Chains A and B, each alone.
Chain A
């Protein structure tokens, strides 16, 4: 059963992401309300995919991506960035740091579901 880590300092946004991904059969979800909490959870248990906000207190999404990509065990973990920052510089920095997908808010349920589905199928076949 694939497990997704949903990281955003807004609880409503996390709930929205989970609601968008619910139609994917068998997914389970873990919430993290900050970048540090996400890093801690990743050190304690394996996940199949992260949905990650960029702008958070403590440390931001780019730093989380860099940290994850610096770990041998997490090097190939799929990462989807969801952010309000739609500028090209942010997109370039996120993808350069190692994010797999970059989505700007607002996104449609179908759009994020499609991205997550594609990434999970790429990993799990």
Chain B
């Protein structure tokens, strides 16, 4: 048995631990700046590094073991100092974390792992990561009422946390949960209890208590917690009786807490002092993405087979065979497939927060290298998206954030001169829409895009609209920077951002900018891109598909009521839709095909292009079905406006169109506003 076989699992878990460590180290930096104690943060960071060190030792990656070891040592000192860290200790710890990350990435790429740099190890070894805070704690305004055996299990910081909670108006309670085999069979265990209670209360400590219980058990878990929730909800979270609930803190006129001191010294080496942190992965099963991809592939094959079956049944029906029962089975099968698809896609979803979790660290680095003051505000909620979309999205967000700090936000002196606060604000927000798409915005309150400079660089007239400006900024190779530096002007440009968002993901990219006020990039992407509901239709004797999520409405085209704006002969017509003039394009013309038809087809899909409605006429709607979207990987056959291909069950590849992108690529987009203006006037 070779422990090196565990390398893929090691890499997955260490990535997760590094994410935790990054988050905790940033929190520690904030605490250090405020000169406040943060013992839990220190311990969480220590624990993440400790696990990384242990795992790395098992798979024999010595450089990571060494770096993690010295970081641990520094954090142990910080823990001895009550969780206080001086601000100048943060940077070496950051460097240590970066060094571990680099080596993990080398390992993942199959490259030799670089040794730990002696300079870094020396810096970490010499680190005096202790900051002595104010000695002694202020008199507590309340008193804890706990049995001595339980009180002895509480550390000073646990006691302080309970008393501070009471001072802030919360109730300090002891909630007793009694485990049993029956409850475990129903999925109620200490892990699920902690998850459920953790949603409505702050768990300070969980203490196991041995002894006979009501119901014949021999163990009780005493959960000490702070909450504003009512008793009924808390008792329900632990499965009801024989659970009990009692107050453990009451207001006292004055004086310190009358608790016995903890039985042992406080340090990370003392196991009784382990923080009552929420379990990181309780109730969670980690699955390699490749296995999920495999499940999705199997599902995709089923979807195609079902299409073939439907086609065969249709042929039988047309030949007069009795197929009623067969059709019913087919419908049932379609429902089951849909449910299975929903389940598998749900498994592949990751929280958007996870996609964005490295950005605070990126901003911190940019702040330091560029000497700019930046406050990052994130409002990401709990939206989720498919792992494959998330993986594509991440580099685009990194680029937009770099771009905002580098080009958008001004230096503190420039902001002062412009009458702004020295600290610039970079805001990331996202929310899921009801149509299966995710809207993300990256906005800054900086100087806005210098339109004239962009135009001069591109050697074109100054663009008149934000859309034209964005087109210009997304030209390959365009940079307003004279030379590449380490921040932006290298690596991925706006052209790649657009390619990923618009062409690969079938999403939208928009720009709003105002001189002196700032810039906002809006990204709108589908939550999933693999198996989608699609409309299948015909145009110029060929069959196509278009994702349902991108279609706002399907309308009948009444050719007698079309308006042809002057100067648009043979091009665009306008139709009236609920009092609004909407440009109408012929898909046949967009595809440069000749189906022998005079004028637009009788049906039209209404889509949104840059926020404006646009109708695209087709010949015939054939139906709606699930399709497996296969991206066109070969750059030679990638065409703007074609999202990919699919097999509808007859073995013939069918193109899946991205109608807004197709219209934009064929020049329809640039004519919309003027046409809408003229049509509106007509």
Whether the Cβ atoms of B1 and A19 lie closer than 8 Å is: yes
B426 CB, min distance to chain A CBs, angstroms:
33
Whether the Cβ atoms of B274 and A12 lie closer than 8 Å is: no
Residues of chain B within 8 A (CB-CB) of A39 are 190, 208, 219
Whether the Cβ atoms of B13 and A33 lie closer than 8 Å is: no
Decide: A57 near B272, CB < 8 A? Known: A10-B54, A12-B13: no
Q: Which residue of chain A lies nearest to B276 when distances are taken between CB atoms in the complex? A: A58
Q: Which residue of chain B lies nearest to A108 when distances are taken between CB atoms in the complex? A: B3
Chain B interface residue bracket vs A: 35 or more
Residues of chain B within 8 A (CB-CB) of A54 are 271
Q: Give bound CA distance, A37 to B51, whole Å.
A: 18
Q: Which residue of chain B lies nearest to A74 when distances are taken between CB atoms in the complex? A: B210
Does B587 sit within 8 A of A, measured CB to CB?
no
Q: Which of A12, A13, A19 has the most CB of B within 10 A?
A: A12
Residues of chain B within 8 A (CB-CB) of A84 are 50, 53-54, 57
Q: Which residue of chain B lies nearest to A85 when distances are taken between CB atoms in the complex? A: B269
Q: Residue-by-residue, is A11-35 near B (CB-CB < 8 Å gives 1, otherwise 0)?
A: 1110110011011000000000111
Residues of chain B within 8 A (CB-CB) of A23 are 1
Q: Give bound CA distance, A106 to B53, whole Å.
A: 10
Whether the Cβ atoms of B189 and A12 lie closer than 8 Å is: no
Q: Residue-by-residue, is B242-273 near A (CB-CB < 8 Å gives 1, otherwise 0)?
A: 00000000000000000000000000010110
Q: Give bound CA distance, A105 to B272, whole Å.
A: 22
Does A95 sit within 8 A of B, measured CB to CB?
no
Whether the Cβ atoms of A13 and B276 lie closer than 8 Å is: no
Contact of B13 among A11, A43, A45, A59 (CB under 8 A): A11
Q: Residue-by-residue, is A59-81 near B (CB-CB < 8 Å gives 1, otherwise 0)?
A: 11111000100110000000000
Whether the Cβ atoms of A16 and B189 lie closer than 8 Å is: no
A106 CB, min distance to chain B CBs, angstroms:
4
Decide: A22 near B1, CB < 8 A? Known: A57-B274, A106-B60: yes
Q: Give bound CA distance, A70 to B218, whole Å.
A: 12
Q: Which residue of chain B lies nearest to A61 when distances are taken between CB atoms in the complex? A: B271
Q: Which residue of chain B lies nearest to A89 when distances are taken between CB atoms in the complex? A: B269
Q: Give bound CA distance, A23 to B1, whole Å.
A: 9
Whether the Cβ atoms of A44 and B179 lie closer than 8 Å is: yes
B186-235: which have CB < 8 Å to A?
189-191, 194, 206, 208, 210, 217-219, 221
Q: Give bound CA distance, A125 to B51, whole Å.
A: 35
Q: Give bound CA distance, A19 to B10, whole Å.
A: 14
B285 CB, min distance to chain A CBs, angstroms:
9
Q: Give bound CA distance, A15 to B13, whole Å.
A: 12
A39 CB, min distance to chain B CBs, angstroms:
5
Contact of B277 among A33, A58, A62, A83 (CB under 8 A): A58
Q: Give bound CA distance, A14 to B184, whole Å.
A: 21
Residues of chain B within 8 A (CB-CB) of A100 are none
Residues of chain A within 8 A (CB-CB) of B190 are 34, 36-37, 39-40
Whether the Cβ atoms of B208 and A59 lie closer than 8 Å is: yes
Q: Give bound CA distance, A102 to B12, whole Å.
A: 28
Residues of chain B within 8 A (CB-CB) of A19 are 1, 3, 5-6
Number of interface residues of A (CB under 8 A): 42
Contact of A12 among B55, B60, B208 (CB under 8 A): B55
Contact of A90 among B53, B179, B269 (CB under 8 A): B269
Q: Which residue of chain B lies nearest to A113 when distances are taken between CB atoms in the complex? A: B1
B583 CB, min distance to chain A CBs, angstroms:
55
Whether the Cβ atoms of A43 and B179 lie closer than 8 Å is: yes
Does B465 sit within 8 A of A, measured CB to CB?
no
A42 CB, min distance to chain B CBs, angstroms:
8
Residues of chain A within 8 A (CB-CB) of B276 are 57-58
B155 CB, min distance to chain A CBs, angstroms:
12
Decide: A34 near B47, CB < 8 A? Known: A39-B208, A57-B279, A109-B3: no
Whether the Cβ atoms of B54 and A56 lie closer than 8 Å is: no
Q: Which of B10, B47, B210, B218 has the most CB of A within 10 A?
A: B210
Decide: A40 near B58, CB < 8 A? Known: A9-B280, A33-B282: no
Q: Which residue of chain B lies nearest to A97 when distances are taken between CB atoms in the complex? A: B271
Whether the Cβ atoms of A10 and B55 lie closer than 8 Å is: yes
Q: Residue-by-residue, is B2-29 near A (CB-CB < 8 Å gives 1, otherwise 0)?
A: 0101100110110000000000000000
Does B181 sit within 8 A of A, measured CB to CB?
yes
Q: Give bound CA distance, A45 to B182, whole Å.
A: 12
Does B180 sit within 8 A of A, measured CB to CB?
yes
Whether the Cβ atoms of A16 and B279 lie closer than 8 Å is: no
Whether the Cβ atoms of A37 and B191 lie closer than 8 Å is: yes
Residues of chain A within 8 A (CB-CB) of B278 are 57
Residues of chain A within 8 A (CB-CB) of B282 are 33-34, 37
Q: Give bound CA distance, A10 to B20, whole Å.
A: 13
A32 CB, min distance to chain B CBs, angstroms:
9
Residues of chain A within 8 A (CB-CB) of B279 are 9, 33-34, 57-58
Contact of A33 among B53, B57, B281 (CB under 8 A): B281
Q: Which residue of chain B lies nearest to A71 when distances are taken between CB atoms in the complex? A: B210
Does B275 sit within 8 A of A, measured CB to CB?
yes
Whether the Cβ atoms of B3 and A15 lie closer than 8 Å is: no
Q: Give bound CA distance, A15 to B58, whole Å.
A: 12
B488-506: which have CB < 8 Å to A?
none
Q: Give bound CA distance, A16 to B57, whole Å.
A: 12
Whether the Cβ atoms of A57 and B53 lie closer than 8 Å is: no
Q: Give bound CA distance, A63 to B277, whole Å.
A: 16
Contact of B9 among A12, A40, A45, A90 (CB under 8 A): A12
Q: Give bound CA distance, A9 to B20, whole Å.
A: 14
Decide: A106 near B271, CB < 8 A? Known: A33-B282, A40-B190, A71-B210: no
Does B561 sit within 8 A of A, measured CB to CB?
no
Residues of chain A within 8 A (CB-CB) of B47 are 9, 55-57
Q: Which residue of chain A lies nearest to B178 when distances are taken between CB atoms in the complex? A: A43
B398-450: which have CB < 8 Å to A?
none
B592-641: which have CB < 8 Å to A?
none
Q: Which of A10, A22, A62, A109 has the most CB of B within 10 A?
A: A10
Q: Give bound CA distance, A62 to B274, whole Å.
A: 11
B binding-site residues for A, Cβ under 8 Å: 1, 3, 5-6, 9-10, 12-13, 47, 50-51, 53-55, 57-58, 60, 179-181, 184, 189-191, 194, 206, 208, 210, 217-219, 221, 269, 271-272, 274-282, 286
User: Which 10 pairs of residues, A with B, have the shortest CB-CB distance?
Assistant: A60-B271, A84-B54, A62-B271, A43-B219, A106-B57, A57-B277, A60-B274, A105-B54, A40-B190, A12-B9
A binding-site residues for B, Cβ under 8 Å: 9-13, 15-16, 19-20, 22-23, 33-37, 39-40, 43-45, 54-63, 67, 70-71, 83-85, 89-90, 105-106, 109
In the complex, given contacts A44-B179, A106-B57, what are 19 additional A-B residue pairs having Cβ atoms less than 8 angstroms apart?
Answer: A10-B13, A11-B9, A12-B6, A12-B55, A16-B6, A19-B1, A36-B190, A37-B282, A43-B179, A43-B218, A54-B271, A55-B50, A57-B275, A57-B278, A58-B194, A59-B274, A67-B210, A105-B57, A106-B3
Could you give 15 example pairs across A and B, Cβ below 8 Å?
A11-B9, A19-B3, A36-B206, A37-B189, A44-B184, A54-B271, A55-B50, A55-B51, A56-B274, A57-B276, A57-B280, A59-B274, A60-B274, A71-B210, A89-B269
